[in-house]
Amino acid sequence: MTTANTSSIWGTLFRKPVAWHQQVASKWAKTPFFSGIPLKEIEKLSKNMHLRTFQADEYIFHNGDQGAGAAIILSGEIEIRVKKTVLAQLSEGDFFGEVSLVLDERRTADAIALTNCELAFFLRPELEEWTQRVPHHASKLTTNLARVLAHRLLHANQLLAQRRSR
Amino acid sequence: MIGVLFERPILRALLVSTGIIMFAFLLMVLFKPVIFPILASFVLYALLQPLRNKLISIGFSDVVAILLILTALVTVLITSMILVIPMLIDQLSELQTRLPNLWNQILIWLKQVTLRLAETTGQHFDSEATLKSSLSNAQSWGTDTILNSATLLMQTAMALFLIPIITYFMLRDFQQLRNKLMGFIPNQGFELAWLIYYKIGKQLQRYLRGVMLQSTIISVIATAGFLLLGLDMALLFGLLTGLLNLIPYVGPLLSLIPPFVVTLSSPELDTVLLLGIPCVILLVQVIDNLFIVPTVIAQTVNLHPLVVLLGIVVFGASFGFLGMLLAIPAMTAGKIMFQGLLYGLQGEGPNFQSQT
C-alpha cells in the first residue's frame, strides 16, 4: 500500500505526461490496421491525426457525406446505422470509416455517438503523404487495410448467402 | 423565404465561399507591407515540402532535413546574387544612361510630326509647349520612380532577410498551426474542409511548380532569342519576359515595352531589332501555348478567359504587380473551394475529387 502511494507520488512528480498522440498511437497499434508497424512510426503519424469530441446523439457523419478517412474511438460508444438498421455498435479502441482511406466516395451509413465520445481521425491525404515519407511502412499499412476490407467482404458475402438460403 | 433560399446548397456554398474569400482579402490588405515575403515563403514552402518528405524518407530527422534544405536554398540565393545581380545592375545602369537619348529621339520625332501636320493641314501646333509639359511630367515621373526604387530596394533587402526565416518556421511549424486552426471547424464540416484544403494545396503546388518551370523555359528561350538578335541587356529582358509571362494575356504585351524602349534609345534606329523583338516574343508565345501550357499548366488551371482577365484587373488594382501574379492561383483556390462546398452540401451525386 505504502509502496503504491510512494510510487504514485514520485510517479506524479517525475513521470512525463503522456501526450495525446501517444495515446492515439497506442490505440491504433492494437488494431489489425497497424500490425507490424513500429510504435514510434505510429506515434509520428498520430501527431497529424485529428482529435474530435462529439456529444451523445450527435452525428459523426451522415449517409451521403463526403468521406475523408477513418476514425478510432478513444472514449465513448458509437453506432453505425443504415436507415433504422443497426449495423454495429463500437466502443473504445474500435475503428470505422476505413473505406474512405482508399476510396474517394460518399459515406454509405450514418455514424452516431451513443455517449459523449472522443475520436481521432486519420485522413486519406495524410495516408498519401505518409506513403511518400515512409513508403515501406505505408505499404505494410495498405496491405493490412486490404486484409481488413477483404475480411469485411467475406463477412458480407456470408451474410448474403445465409439470407438467400433462408 | 430567405430561410428556404438558404437551404439551397448552391447559395450556402456561395455564401460560405464569399465569406472566406472576403476574410482572405482582408488579411491580405492588413498584411500588405509584408505580403511579399509571406507569399514568397509560402511558395518556397510549397516547393520545398516534397523535398523535405524525400529527405525524411531517406532517413534524415525532420530538423536536419529542414536545415539541409534551407542551407542549400541560402547558398543558391547568395551564389545567384553574386553572379547575376552585378550583371543586372550593369545592364540597369546602362539603361539609365540611355534614357536621355530616348527623350531626345522622342523630341525629334514630335517635331517632325508637327511639321508634317502643319504642312498637310495648314495648322500650326504649339509643339514646344506640349514638349515642355511632357518633359516636366517625365522628369517628375523619373524622380518618383527613383524614390520608389529606393523604397523597393529597402523592401527587397527586408524580404531577402525575412524569407529564409519565415520559410524555416513554416517548414517546421506550419502543419501544427494549420491543424490547430482547422480544429475550430465544426464537427459537421470538418472532413469536407480537410478534403477541400488538401485539394487546393495539391492543385496550387502543381500550379506553382508548373509556372516556375514555364517561367524558366521562357526566360531561357527569350534570352537566347534576344542574344541572337544582338539586343543589349538580353539577359535582363529575357528574365523579365519569363516573369511577365506569368500574367496571362497582358504579360506578353508588357514584355515588349522594355526592349523597345532600349532599341529606340540607341543613337541610330535599328529596324532589324524593332522587327525582331516582336518576333522573339511571338515565338516564345507559340512555344508556350503549343508545348508548355498543354503539358505543364492546363491540368491545374481551368478558368474562363474572361474570369482570368477580370481577376487580373481587380487583383492588379488592389495589390499591384504582385496582385496580377496572384490572380490565377487565388481564383483557382476560390473555384475549388466553391465546387467542394457545393458537392459536400448537396449530400448526393458524384464525389468531389472527380468533379474538380
DSSP for A9-44, written as a single string: HHHHHHSPPPPHHHHHHHHHHTSGGGTTS-HHHHHH
Of chain B, the percentage scoring pLDDT greater than 90 comes to: 6
For residue A32, being part of any structural domain is answered with yes
Smallest CA–CA distance from A130 into chain B, residue: B53
Inform me whether the pLDDT recorded for A115 exceeds 90: yes
A63-77, B19-33, B78-92, B157-171 — most confident range: A63-77
This model of the complex carries an ipTM of 0.80
Report the distance separating Cα B260 and Cα B281, nearest Å: 12
Three-state DSSP class for residue B172: helix
- Residue A164's alpha-carbon distances to A87, A118, A150, in angstroms, are 19, 39, 21
For residue B322, being part of any structural domain is answered with yes
Q: At what angle do helices A124-133 and A135-165 cross, to 10 degrees?
A: 140
Cell of B232: 543589349
Residues 6 or more apart whose CB falls under 8 angstroms from that of B76 comprise none
For residue A5, being part of any structural domain is answered with no
For residue B284, being part of any structural domain is answered with yes
Inform me whether the pLDDT recorded for B354 exceeds 50: no
Considering only A36-40, A60-64, B47-51, B283-287, which range has the smallest mean pLDDT?
Answer: B47-51
* Domain range for A23: 17-165
Note whether A65 contacts B187, CB cutoff 8 Å: no
Question: How large is the average pLDDT for residues A61-75?
Answer: 91
Of chain A, the percentage scoring pLDDT greater than 90 comes to: 45
- Give the per-residue pLDDT at A111: 95
Domain count of the fold of chain A: 1
Q: How far does B265 lie from chain A, in Å, by closest CA?
A: 54
Place of cell 553574386: B82
The Cβ-side half-sphere exposure at A124, using a 13 Å CA radius, reads: 23
Count of beta carbons in the 10 Å neighbourhood of residue A13: 7
Report the distance separating Cα B216 and Cα B212, nearest Å: 6
Calculate ∠ Cα A120-A63-B350, nearest 5°. Answer: 105
Domain count of the fold of chain B: 1
- Asked whether A141 and A101 are in contact (CB, 8 A), the reply is no
Q: How far does B200 lie from chain A, in Å, by closest CA?
A: 12
For residue A102, being part of any structural domain is answered with yes
* Domain range for B228: 192-346
A-chain CB neighbours of B352 within 8 Å are: 66, 104
Note whether B198 contacts A105, CB cutoff 8 Å: no
For residue A12, being part of any structural domain is answered with no
- Give the per-residue pLDDT at A13: 56
A33 phi/psi in degrees, rounded to 5:
-55, -45
pLDDT digits (tens, 9 = 90+) for B102-149: 777 777 777 777 788 777 777 666 665 666 666 666 666 655 665 565
Q: Does B186 touch chain A (CB under 8 A)?
A: no
Q: Does A56 touch chain B (CB under 8 A)?
A: no
How many residues appear in chain B? 356
For residue B179, being part of any structural domain is answered with no
B281 phi/psi in degrees, rounded to 5:
-60, -40
For residue A2, being part of any structural domain is answered with no
Report the distance separating Cα A73 and Cα B51, nearest Å: 34
Shortest CA distance to A78 belongs to which of A25, A120, A26, A116? A116
For residue A95, being part of any structural domain is answered with yes
Note whether B344 contacts A66, CB cutoff 8 Å: yes
Q: How far does B9 lie from chain A, in Å, by closest CA?
A: 13
**DSSP H/E element including A70:** strand A69-75
CATH number for A116: 2.60.120.10
DSSP 8-state class, residue B187: G
- Residue A119's alpha-carbon distances to B5, B47, B140, B320, in angstroms, are 34, 33, 65, 46
Q: How far does A126 lie from chain B, in Å, by closest CA?
A: 9
For residue B70, being part of any structural domain is answered with no
For residue B219, being part of any structural domain is answered with yes
- Asked whether B13 and B338 are in contact (CB, 8 A), the reply is yes
Inform me whether the pLDDT recorded for A2 exceeds 50: no
Count of beta carbons in the 10 Å neighbourhood of residue B49: 19
pLDDT digits (tens, 9 = 90+) for B41-99: 888 888 888 888 888 878 788 888 888 988 888 888 788 778 877 777 777 777 777 77
**DSSP H/E element including A137:** helix A135-165
Q: In what order do the strands lie in the sheet with A69-75?
A: A50-54, A117-123, A69-75, A95-96
Cell of B84: 547575376
DSSP 8-state class, residue B189: G
**DSSP H/E element including B244:** helix B234-244
Shortest CA distance to B288 belongs to which of B354, B194, B218? B218
pLDDT bracket for residue B298 (50, 70, 90):
low
Inform me whether the pLDDT recorded for A131 exceeds 70: yes
Residue ranges of B 323-352 with Cβ closer than 8 A to chain A: 343-344, 347-348, 351-352
Mean residue pLDDT across chain A: 86
For residue A7, being part of any structural domain is answered with no
- Asked whether A119 and A54 are in contact (CB, 8 A), the reply is yes
Q: Does A108 touch chain B (CB under 8 A)?
A: no
Calculate ∠ Cα B35-B39-B43, nearest 5°. Answer: 170
Cell of B309: 482577365
Question: How large is the average pLDDT for residues A70-74?
Answer: 94
Residue ranges of B 192-211 with Cβ closer than 8 A to chain A: 192, 194-195, 198
For residue B311, being part of any structural domain is answered with yes
Q: In what order do the strands lie in the sheet with A59-61?
A: A59-61, A110-113, A78-82, A85-90
The letter for the amino acid at B87 is M
Report the distance separating Cα B236 and Cα B241, nearest Å: 9
- Give the per-residue pLDDT at B44: 87
A-chain CB neighbours of B191 within 8 Å are: 61, 65-69, 121, 123
Note whether B351 contacts A106, CB cutoff 8 Å: yes
Q: Does A115 touch chain B (CB under 8 A)?
A: no
Question: How large is the average pLDDT for residues B302-308?
Answer: 80
Q: How far does B325 lie from chain A, in Å, by closest CA?
A: 28
Report the distance separating Cα B190 and Cα A123, nearest Å: 11
Is the model more confident about B299 or about B310? B310
Q: Does B355 touch chain A (CB under 8 A)?
A: no
Place of cell 538580353: B234
- Asked whether A118 and A56 are in contact (CB, 8 A), the reply is no
A-chain CB neighbours of B183 within 8 Å are: 50-51
For residue B41, being part of any structural domain is answered with no
Smallest CA–CA distance from B53 into chain A, residue: A133
DSSP for B323-337, written as a single string: HHHHHHHHHHHHHHH
Smallest CA–CA distance from B198 into chain A, residue: A125
B-chain CB neighbours of A132 within 8 Å are: 50, 53-54, 57
Residue ranges of A 67-86 with Cβ closer than 8 A to chain B: 67-69
Three-state DSSP class for residue B202: helix
